[in-house]
Structure 1
Amino acid sequence: MAHKTRILIADDHQLVIQGILISLKEVGDFDVVTTNTCDAAFKLLKANQHTNPFQILFTDLSFDTCEQGTELVDGEDLIKALKKQGVDVKVCVITAHTETNRVFNVISNLNPEAYLLKSKCTSAEISFAIQKMLKNEYYYTHEIHEKMMRRNIVQIQVDDIALQILRELPNHPKIINLEGVIKKSDGALIKLRSIEAKLANLRTDLNANNNIDLILKAKELGIID
């Protein structure tokens, strides 16, 4: 008799948990356990890892109901703790967070097997994500995949000079004021004409209408704070 795939759902909103449970019932026969704190999720995963392990963890990133004495305050803490302790479980982030910088950092640093969005995820997508994870493959919902692709492309194109310009631009009312501020790695100052050319290229790369729009898009992409 084949063993059921064990799934743990960690979320502090019961309605979200119920939604995931309904979706799971529609697409397969799983052994599902739920919890509303990261501490409890970690204890369950740790305690069962050698006897009756969970194969998949669904977790949010943000948890609002943290009581005094909580050790793992959010999903990022939970994933880090699992990796540190060597708990073998596939992680599916299911969250409302779509900020490019947050997404990029979570995927780059924590390497979850899947990343889904609560507001857009369907039973079919959950089923597809599970299939991918059980095959040791990765799945990011379309919007997240697009953000990662664009962020990676921009990161390649944005060098140290471009970063200096993007960081300094909001502090100076006129572009001419950047001359004497932007420097090469050897300390040599960048001429105004080169700064203007770099800005023009950045506006093209980030599809920005003007320099204000450029800064907004650079922040949205997590290139600058």
Structure 2
Amino acid sequence: MSEKIKILIADDHQLIIEGILSNLKGIDGLEVETASSCDQAFSKIKAQRNQEPFHILFTDLSFDNTTENSQLDGGEALIKAIKQEELNIKVGVITGHTETNRVYNVIHNLNPSAYILKSNCNTSELNFAIQKMLAGEVYYTHEIHQKLLKRALIEIQMDEIAIQILKELPKHAKINNMEGVIKKSDGSPLKIRSIESKLAKLRTDLNAINNTDLVLKAKELGILD
């Protein structure tokens, strides 16, 4: 890198910040600052937007140090504020959150340039992510990429009947009670044998051990609220 790349790290845990800083020391050409809250990070980015602006922000999603006086209560709010202000900075997430639904919502709604997990964050991965981000590309750590791929495949396999069954399943103590409740596209009721067959396929697709686990997996994937 011929010029210094300015990076801001936002996290409320000092040990995490120190760990990221240690990894970044192995990368040449960086100038790194830190912020312990989203409000502080946002203020720093805005204060330097016209003179020596930050090129990249790495932020966590959850911040435990927010109070009723905080303007921004977490990483999602910080990213939204940056987009609303149209600040010219690449944003990456470094977090411990691996829940498929949250991962999907963050990436789908906020479109960060990177999503990295704290558990396997290292110098090599950070260097690769930074290069990708500066080139206008995105980088998602392998586990996150796999989660997004699995969700996409599941969504392709889902049809209206499957969604109906998953929504009704927690409401009925017995599968037989669902007969007459699940409707085909023409309005006719689905027979119990067809419901059971669909449930068996859903359990296989979502790798669920039983119907209770099936509902939990569907919620984790964001198929159910």
Deviation at 1:163, TM superposition (A): 1.4
Distance in 1, Cα, partners of 2:199 & 2:173: 15
- Which string of whole-angstrom CA distances, capped at 9 and with x for unpartnered residues, describes residues 83-125 of structure 1? 1111121111000101111111101111111111111111111
Deviation at 1:186, TM superposition (A): 5.3
The aligned counterpart of 1:107 is: 107
Task: Supply the RMSD in Å over aligned alpha carbons.
Answer: 1.6
Amino acid at match of 2:116: L
Deviation at 1:216, TM superposition (A): 2.6
Distance in 1, Cα, partners of 2:179 & 2:142: 41
Distance in 1, Cα, partners of 2:16 & 2:121: 11
Distance in 2, Cα, partners of 1:120 & 1:7: 20
The aligned counterpart of 2:29 is: 29
The aligned counterpart of 1:200 is: 200
Contact 2:2-2:29 within 8 A present in 1 as well: no
Deviation at 1:206, TM superposition (A): 1.4
- Which string of whole-angstrom CA distances, capped at 9 and with x for unpartnered residues, describes residues 144-203 of structure 1? 111010011111211222112112112212111111222245543322232222212212
Aligned residue for 1:156, secondary structure, equals helix
Deviation at 1:49, TM superposition (A): 1.9
The aligned counterpart of 2:167 is: 167
Distance in 2, Cα, partners of 1:194 & 1:13: 52
Aligned residue for 1:7, secondary structure, equals strand
Matched residue pairs, number? Answer: 225
Amino acid at match of 2:179: E
Amino acid at match of 1:102: R
Are residues 1:12 and 2:12 paired? yes
Q: What TM-score does the superposition give when structure 1 sets the normalisation length?
A: 0.94
Distance in 1, Cα, partners of 2:113 & 2:8: 15
The aligned counterpart of 2:59 is: 59
Distance in 1, Cα, partners of 2:186 & 2:81: 41
Query: Which blocks of at least 5 consecutive residues in structure 1 are unaligned?
Result: none
The aligned counterpart of 1:145 is: 145
Contact 2:90-2:133 within 8 A present in 1 as well: yes
Query: Which blocks of at least 5 consecutive residues in structure 2 are unaligned?
Result: none
Amino acid at match of 1:84: Q
Higher mean displacement: 156-165 or 90-99: 156-165
The aligned counterpart of 1:214 is: 214
Distance in 2, Cα, partners of 1:155 & 1:96: 25
Distance in 1, Cα, partners of 2:61 & 2:139: 17
Amino acid at match of 2:96: A
The aligned counterpart of 2:156 is: 156
Identity %: 62
The aligned counterpart of 1:81 is: 81
Distance in 2, Cα, partners of 1:84 & 1:157: 35
Higher mean displacement: 179-188 or 169-178: 179-188
Distance in 2, Cα, partners of 1:185 & 1:25: 59
Contact 2:3-2:29 within 8 A present in 1 as well: no
Aligned residue for 2:51, secondary structure, equals coil
The aligned counterpart of 1:44 is: 44
Distance in 1, Cα, partners of 2:13 & 2:58: 13
Distance in 2, Cα, partners of 1:161 & 1:29: 55
Amino acid at match of 1:48: Q
Distance in 1, Cα, partners of 2:118 & 2:82: 23
